[in-house]
Amino acid sequence: MTLSDFFYAIGDFMQMTFLLLEADMIGNLFNYFCVFLGFFGMFFWLYKQRQYNMAADKDADQLK
């Protein structure tokens, strides 16, 4: 086995895996997951920020 055969084998493997990503199996599920994760993170951050703001309003010595 030569070195070029090794690199061609790696290239063929990578090409095969990328063909799976183009298949209709996945579709827009990954996109929907990213959007859902972004909205979940935003609402979680807003919830935590509201808690921090209420705690800061109760404590006069805390910086705002």
> Which tens digits make up the pLDDT trace of 21-63?
776 667 778 888 999 999 999 999 999 999 999 988 888 777 6
Q: Do the domain assignments include residue 35?
A: yes
Structural domain of 16: 3-58
Please tell me the total count of domains within the chain.
1
In this prediction, residues 10-14 reach a mean pLDDT of: 92
Q: Is the dihedral of CA 37, 39, 43, 49 positive or negative?
A: positive
* CA–CA gap between residue 55 and residue 61 (Å, rounded): 11
Q: Do the domain assignments include residue 14?
A: yes
Question: Residue 26 to residues 18, 22, 36, 51: CA-CA distances in angstroms?
Answer: 12, 8, 16, 38
Which one, of 57, 64, 35, lies nearest residue 43 by Cα?
A: 35
- pTM for the full predicted model: 0.54
Q: Is the dihedral of CA 50, 53, 57, 59 positive or negative?
A: positive
Q: Do the domain assignments include residue 63?
A: no
